[in-house]
Amino acid sequence: MTTQIVLPVELDAVRQTSVNNGEPAWLTESRANGVKLAQELELPRLEKMKIERWDLSNFGQLREGYAASAQQLPDSVASLVDLKEHSNLIVQVNSSTQFAQLSPELAAKGVIFTDLETAVREHGDLVQRYLHQAVKSDENRLTALHSALWSGGIFLYVPRNVEIEIPLQSIFVQEDDKTTFAPHILIVAEANSRVTYVDNYFSAQFDKTIVHSGVAEVFVQAGAKVQFATVHNLGSSTTDLSYRRGIVENDGSIEWIIGEMNFGDVMSETLSILKGNGSLSDMKVIAVGSGSQKLNYTTKAVHFGKSSESQMITRAVMREQSTAIINGITKIEKGATKANGEQTEKVLMLSPKARGDANPILLIDEDDVKAGHAASVGQVNQEQIYYLMSRGITREQAERLVIYGFLAPVVTEIPLEPLQQQLQGLVERKLGQ
């Protein structure tokens, strides 16, 4: 059964823009293929939420031409970064790079850290080998649309045995509702390398709702270690559709730290594919819902490798009329002996009108494994509030302590101090304090 879908893009326009932007033929074809797939494929099916009813009509227009790198840090992000000579930072506004800096030491070691379009021109073979290989364009209409429309984004390549101590950071700011907002993050960490990547997303308030179509692909080769931290703080007129995926080879490890601090609707999926023996994945998600937000978060780990291990923790605080569906999926494939997968999803509801649903799912096709899950949805415990108040603490402060206490087991585990502080501040803002 096929229904006529009105897509927010046109094949000819996409092809023409790609050609006008001087993109190589393979990329123009990849984009055109994305449009065709989008016509055939359905939207993803979300657990207990109808994405079909969301307003996904505005993906913006693909920008033509590359704005020359202005090397001017926009005022709006200046407070977020402590820019030093050795900082590694890329800032994009409306998908155009406004600032880019990679320390000479890292460049000398062969590290590539640039916007993805530049990478296509300068390291085309490398990009082509990995682009859309973890999140494939033919998965559903959203991944297809992303492959047609991606714009801006990052290419981070860390050669074999290179270990980078300081985090590489990028910031994405959307200031209008007309330009496509679809950055693609592509990270390749070669064998035995080590890197930390941190990004931030912001958007202004618009008249018309715009979609942020984000994909992050992380390739963790044997023995490599990647920390990927992302904080989404998009405005209420931005709908965030994000896929994050890591493929982890033998003895590699990936750590995801995700702050879901948006004000608009969100569909996000973070998935680690533990291909290699002894591969590891750790996911930490904190989220605060407010207003009438609809939020659908999925964390997922798929185990193929023997003795592979995954940890997933999601903690969400829900205010006002917000609704969250939180899915945790641990899948252990046949042959992944001695695998171990643990997951926890907890939702704290602050208002009788808020809704939260935690769905832990274990899919296990191998006998010799360990797996565990815990999920809870509850309101602030009034007995705890009474106890705190009986020591002279006001109700407001008592509730604050309980809410921060609820998030603390995740926040305090975040290995990057500035990120911890930033998240703390954003949580406060979202809680209206």
Site of interaction with other proteins (CB under 8 A): 381-384, 386-395, 397-398, 401-402, 404-409
* Placement of tokens 């840090």 in the chain: 73
Looking at the Cβ atoms of 75 and 383, the one nearer to other proteins is 383
Going by the DSSP 8-state scheme, the letter that residue 102 receives in this structure is -
Q: Find out whether 260 and 314 touch, Cβ atoms under 8 Å.
A: no
Looking at the Cβ atoms of 375 and 388, the one nearer to other proteins is 388
Looking at the Cβ atoms of 261 and 317, the one nearer to other proteins is 317
Looking at the Cβ atoms of 392 and 432, the one nearer to other proteins is 392
Q: Which of 295, 336, 333, 290 is nearest to 314 (CA)?
A: 295
* Placement of tokens 């009105």 in the chain: 6
Positive or negative, the CA dihedral 396, 319, 352, 384 is negative
Q: What b-and-e string marks burial along 378-409, b requiring 16 or more CB atoms within 10 Å of the CB?
A: eebeeeebeebeeeeeeeeebbbebbbebbee
The two tokens of residue 357 are: 């649903």
The two tokens of residue 184 are: 């693609």
Looking at the Cβ atoms of 11 and 380, the one nearer to other proteins is 380
Q: Which of 184, 30, 33, 213 is nearest to 119 (CA)?
A: 184
Looking at the Cβ atoms of 386 and 415, the one nearer to other proteins is 386
d(CA 80, CA 75): 10
